[in-house]
Homo-oligomer: A and B are copies of this chain.
Amino acid sequence: MPKKVVTLKNIAQELNLSITAVSKALRGEGGIGKATVERIKEAAKRMNYMPNSVAKSLRTNTTKTLGLIVSDSSFSFFTPVIEGVEKSAAEYGYNIILCNAYSNVEKEMESVRILANKRVDGLVLAASMLNCECHKEFLDSFGIPYVFVIRKSETDENDYVINDNAYGSFQMVDYLIKTGSKSICFINIYEKISSYSERMVGYRKALLENGAVYNDKLIYGAKPTVEDGYAAMNRILTSGDSVDAVFCGCDVIAIGAMEAILEAGLKIPEDIRVAGYDDIEYAAYLRVPLTTVRQPKYKIGKMGTEILIDKIQGKFEEKQNIVLRPDLVLRQST
């Protein structure tokens, strides 16, 4: 049933008024008599008037919509980020269009184009696009404000909200060493994203400050999947190196690593201690409750969005480079 949609014009005709009067009355803009405003509001309700945001957007050049691009295969990691973005957007009267780019930079850029065509007022990017040299030029070409969350580009020339990866991993490795671990493997995420190289920085710094030696052979790479973590851990176990702790670049890898360790008949943490990064939702209820670095994912999404909206509303001009300190969460796995 093709519904008949009521417009301002219909209301105006019904009441023998001008479209302008109706528009102003419904927006409470003033300049219309009190009694008339009442009549108009009553008619709007009676006729089941639905404002047409599309027309409004065209006229005002504003959509009250933000684009959110999530570009990672580990989509579930981003769930709290998405929640945070949605929440604060809603608080300020914005909606979000969610795009998943499935770890494909081309798709990410295509999403930006689509969102630009849809004239979103701003973009929240949890993107890997940053790898590209030209990302800034590309993004700026649309003239839409944007903010990075979770990940940032090499330089500080964009707005971003992230956690302090170097600090987080330093804290963890420092804790592991101080509590007795001598030989700590690092299964880092094998992707060219600043977050991961920063985690490496923290790892090395912790070794250095504690007078331990850095050993290339203790570094392993894995994609952020359980399977890859499992495989990497098995490589460690069969390497012959004596290892008493494993620091994983993310909790998902840690899950895989724990599986491999338990399957080999070893005990966590007695034989090998395991630590992760992120503190994913059920990290406390895993095979062995996981010690990890808590990244404030929800908060990062929320703050990033608030900054973006401030930008949109012209509240400030300066670059916002926000780096939140993550917390160590100690559980049974260490």
Contact = CB atoms under 8 A, between A and B. Distances in A.
Interface of A: 1-3, 5, 48, 50-55, 57-58, 63, 65, 75-76, 79-80, 82-83, 86-87, 90, 95-100, 113-119, 141-143, 226, 255, 258-259, 280-282, 285-287, 289
A118 B53 contact: yes
A51 B116 CA distance: 9
Q: Give the copy number.
A: 2
Given A48-B141, A282-B286, 6 more contacts: A54-B57, A90-B100, A95-B115, A95-B118, A97-B98, A282-B282
A277 to B, nearest CB: 16
Contact of A97 (B58, B95, B281, B287): B95
Nearest to A283: B282
Contacts of A52: 58, 117, 119
Nearest to A119: B54
A51 B287 CA distance: 52
Nearest to A68: B98
Contacts of A118: 53-54, 65, 95
A76 to B, nearest CB: 5
Given A83-B100, A99-B86, A116 B286 contact: no
Nearest to A143: B3
Nearest to A144: B3
Contacts of A97: 65, 95-98
A111 B100 CA distance: 22
Given A100-B83, A117-B50, A143 B2 contact: yes
5 contacts: A3-B142, A52-B58, A76-B80, A76-B281, A95-B114
A47 B95 CA distance: 30
A331 B273 CA distance: 25
Nearest to A63: B54
Contact of A98 (B54, B76, B86, B255): B86
A116 B75 CA distance: 28
A33 to B, nearest CB: 26
Nearest to A259: B285
Contacts of A79: 75-76, 79
A143 B287 CA distance: 50
A125 B142 CA distance: 33
A229 to B, nearest CB: 10
A281 to B, nearest CB: 6
B53 A55 contact: no
B99 A90 contact: yes
Contacts of A55: 58
Contacts of A63: 54
Nearest to A64: B118
Contact of A76 (B50, B76, B289): B76
Contacts of A50: 113, 116-117, 142
